[in-house]
Every structure is written in structure tokens, then in C-alpha cells.
Amino acid sequence: MEIPDILNEDEIRNNLKTEWNGREIHYYRETDSTNIRAKELAKAGASHGALIVAEAQTQGRGRLGRVWESPKGEAVYMTTLLKPQIQPIEASMLTLVMALSLARTFQELYGLEAGEHGIQIKWPNDIVLQKKKITGILTEMSADIDRIHYVIIGTGINVNNRKIQEELQEKATSLFLGTGKKLKRSQVIGKAMEYFEQDYQKFMESHDLKFLKEDYENFLVNKDVQVRVLDPKGEYNGIARGINDKGELLIEKDGRIITVYAGEVSVRGMYGYV
């Protein structure tokens, strides 16, 4: 008999084993976007580590304004609210921290290996299963020049989706479609919050990825493979050699190393780039 996948505040709280992360929960049966709600809650005084979860979103979006489809009853839509004592320039690394935490979550809960036939991270923050995307992460910040007011990390996870919309089937999948295993979404959220609390604390020790770099690269699909960098100044090919402590992608080109801070990086055999 299949266990019903009920998602509500009590279910989420019952699966939390954290000290501070996710202890303040805001649950919505439907909302425009958990990131929008998180911004409002941050301004209203919500605590560091507050978790915003929705059963469905009407205005979900990803990086570069892309739409993130948000059907009811199958996926996870959540945002973590943080108030870190770091410099604004360091905040972008938190996206990579969340990506690592999610990869570790899926590896444990679904018994997946890190690698081509299991879970991988496409730099900086896409989680892929068998070379298809299962997770999107969107990080936003409110800050002055030298002070962060808050950082919000929005995450959409295709957990129990039984079907991917036709135009995305070549590029996206779900944990259920990829593994045949159905888990309660509250269990996935709880484990993700647990891993993120651990990884965030390591990040805060050095304000960079020094203590997380090796684990992150263990999942990194952009490692020792040819990539195409879509740079506004001009596209080029190179060999990705991992990341540095700041989370920048290291590209070997013509015998020298180029650091890529932001922008689109395409990988051979993934997302339509061959």
C-alpha cells in the first residue's frame, strides 16, 4: 500500500533534525513564489533559518528569469531565509553550498552514487540525475555595500513527478522517474535542511568553500571534461578543472587557467549541447 505524500507544517517539522535551520516554518497550500514570500517575511522580522514551503506556486522561476513549472502534489518548492554575517560579495557561494547539500541528500535517501550514472552537480547549482535536471536553485539578496540584510535560497525539486512536460523531457526528469523510488517530500525537505545546516556551518568557518570544495567536486559534472563557456565577450571551449575556494569554475584554455565567476556554461552531452 502506497503511503500518501502529505505535505504540511506538521509533516515537515516531524522530519527535521536540525538545531536552527528550518525551525521557523511558513507553509502555503498555494502562493505566487516562495522567494517572494521569503522577502516579505524577512522584512517582517522572520528569523535566520526560516523555511518557506508551498504545495504549489503560480509564479515560480529559475535563473535568468526562466519559468519553473510548479504542479501540486509531486515536487518540493521551498526557500531558506538566511541572515549571514558575511560580505555581500561572498553570498553567491551559498548557492553552491545548497547544491552540495541537495546532492548529498539525494545520494543518501535514494542510494545514488556520485557520478555519470547517479547524482551530479552542473556548475554552479543545477543537480542532475542521469544527465537530466531535477533541481533548480535561485539565490537572491538584499544588501548595502558592506552589509547583508538577508539572503534567500529558493529551491525547486522534482521529487515524485510522474511526468515531465513534453518540451522538457530531453533535459529534465524527477527523482521518481530516475529511480522508481517514491519518498515523502517532507522527508526530502528534512534531510536537505539537515545537510544544509552542516554545510553552512563549514562555510561560515572560512567564509568560502575551502572545507566543502572536495565534496562539491566529487559531484561535479564539469570536472576534467570539455565545456563551452557562453561569455558575453565571446564564446570559447576549454577543459573544466574544478572550482576554487570562491566557487569559481576553473577552465583550462591554451595552457592557462581562466576563472569563470558567472554566466552560462554548457557541458557536452547535457542540456542539448553535444
Domains along the chain with CATH numbers: 9-217 (3.30.930.10), 222-267 (2.30.30.100)
pLDDT band at 27 (very low <50, low <70, confident <90, very high): very high
Of 260, 255, 225, 263, the residue nearest 243 (C-alpha): 260
The overall average pLDDT reported for the chain is 91
**pLDDT over 50 at 90, yes or no:** yes
Instruction: Measure the CA–CA gap between 156 and 136, rounded to whole angstroms.
Output: 5
**pLDDT-wise least confident of 31-40, 98-107, 222-231:** 222-231
Residues 6+ apart with CB under 8 A from 103: 114, 119, 120, 121, 127, 219
Q: Whole-model pTM above 0.85?
A: yes
User: Which is higher by pLDDT, 232 or 160?
Assistant: 160
Which one-letter DSSP state was computed for residue 270? B
